[in-house]
Amino acid sequence: MKTNLQIVTEHYAASARQDLAAMMADVSPEVAWTEMAGFPCAGTWIGPDQVIANVFAVLGSEWEGYSFALEQIIDGGEQLVGIGTYSGTYRKTGKPMQARVTHVWRLSEGKIVRFEQFTDTLLVARAMHT
């Protein structure tokens, strides 16, 4: 069985290569996935289908070259923290964005059961508005 650190590390690696199936491989059917208020995908999405439709599909369609560059993972056992930087260009305005971000992951029995994002939503909003 994979460790929680391996699961989160593999999620980030799959994200970097844009492999959605691998990103969602260890996500619980009941996951609660929270994108920060003020972020384009703000809200808490329940289950992989809602996460894909309301987060990854939106980011992929509205942003050119949207990515997360992982800098560090802090392993707290059942709770892990990923620290890094978002970047991309908002398609409607052509404005680039770069914002620091922290992800808090909670895992149980080898599955991601909770995700919460913390980022500088002002930097994201500035790219989205003319």
Q: Determine the pLDDT at residue 1.
A: 87
Compute the average pLDDT of residues 93-99: 97
pLDDT above 70 covers what percent of the chain? Answer: 100
Q: Quote the DSSP letter at residue 1.
A: -
DSSP 45-67: EESHHHHIIIIIHHHHHHEEEEE
Q: Is residue 31 classed as helix, strand or coil in its secondary structure? A: strand
The total number of structural domains in the chain stands at 1
Return the CATH number at 53: 3.10.450.50
Compute the average pLDDT of residues 65-76: 97
Residue range(s) defining the domain that contains residue 122: 4-128
Kindly tell me the burial class for residue 102, based on how many C-beta atoms sit within 10 Å of its own C-beta (0-12, 13-18, 19 or more).
middle
